[in-house]
């Protein structure tokens, strides 16, 4: 919750107009959370920074998905999603969580990923460089593993394209509790360093109706992933979590068009090529 408060304050400073509205809620089986939402700002069309800590019983379906027996589970974490107004500023998502079962087993999960609408290679390099530094301080070679896992996870199989240009993703991270927790905490504390410089670089980039329409179209892909594949969304809905908080990840405006294809040689086509063939952004 301290991290949530810090993130909200820094993002408000960056936006310069809108403020986060705070909403406390309780889970029917125990625990609850705090949802903080920002809307219609100078930078952010919609965004949220959420914390939750709940105790509940796994349904047979969820237990099967998680490959454990049905039992009590404690789950806590912080998550954020930011949808900027400008199509030149990428959407960003991050989530860091801890789960503990009644049988005493536990694991951490999380990561951060970037979803641009127009590709700026220096932004992609910067975002990945921050996460590589954090990962390598934890375990040599972990960035490559977590980057590959991110590319695999945030992939729309029915579209044969990635949701964005990735970042890091890890789940079922176990081992020495203090070491793993220290790594996850370092990741969460590095988010602002990874994202804020990108926003500051792109805030004054010009854009018009064409660029906005492309952003709204690409947001449709974001919605498709979150409603079909996202484990956090499925976990929240299956455990009867607070629907308003779970679906805050969805953008405020979106459009679907029929068979939209970017012009050959356009900036839009450049993005699609990367989404269909993930790159190593540390080789720039």
Active site residues: 93
Query: Which residues face 79 on adjacent strands?
Result: 50, 95
Sorted by sequence, the CB contacts under 8 Å of residue 195 that are 6+ apart come out as: 82, 92, 114, 127
Residue with tokens 């040599």: 140
CA distance 101 to 83: 34
CA distance 155 to 275: 9
User: 266-273: which pairs have CB atoms within 8 A and are 24 or more residues apart?
Assistant: 267/118, 267/119, 268/118, 268/214, 270/119, 271/116, 271/117, 271/118, 271/119, 271/218, 272/161
Taking only Cα atoms into account, the Rg of the chain, rounded to an integer number of angstroms, comes to 18
CA distance 152 to 12: 33
* Residue count (the chain): 284
- Phi first, then psi: give them for residue 240, nearest 5 degrees: 60, 45
């Amino acid at each position: 919750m301290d991290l949530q408060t810090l993130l909200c304050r820094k993002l408000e400073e960056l936006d310069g107009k809108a403020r986060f509205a705070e909403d406390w809620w309780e889970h029917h089986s125990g625990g609850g959370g705090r949802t903080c939402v920002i809307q219609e700002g100078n930078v952010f069309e919609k965004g949220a920074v959420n914390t939750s800590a709940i105790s509940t019983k796994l349904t047979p379906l969820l237990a099967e998905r998680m490959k454990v027996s049905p039992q009590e589970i404690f789950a806590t974490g912080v998550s954020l999603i930011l949808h900027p107004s400008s199509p030149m500023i990428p959407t960003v998502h991050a989530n860091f969580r801890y789960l503990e079962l009644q049988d005493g087993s536990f694991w951490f999960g999380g990561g951060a990923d970037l979803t641009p609408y127009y590709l700026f290679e220096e932004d992609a390099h910067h975002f990945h460089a921050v996460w590589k530094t954090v990962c390598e301080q934890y375990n040599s070679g972990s960035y490559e593993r977590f980057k590959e896992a991110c590319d695999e996870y945030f992939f729309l199989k029915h579209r044969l394209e990635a949701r964005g240009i990735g970042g890091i993703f890890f789940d079922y991270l176990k081992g020495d509790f203090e070491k793993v927790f220290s790594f996850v905490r370092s990741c969460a504390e590095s988010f602002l360093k990874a994202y804020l410089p990108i926003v500051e670089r792109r805030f004054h980039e010009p854009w018009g109706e064409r660029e906005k329409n492309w952003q709204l179209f690409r947001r449709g892909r974001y919605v498709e992933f979150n409603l079909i594949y996202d484990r956090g969304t499925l976990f929240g809905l299956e455990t009867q979590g607070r629907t308003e908080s779970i679906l805050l990840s969805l953008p405020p405006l979106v459009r679907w068009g029929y068979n939209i294809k970017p012009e050959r040689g356009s900036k839009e086509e450049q993005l699609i090529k990367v989404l269909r063939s993930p790159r190593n952004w540390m080789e720039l």
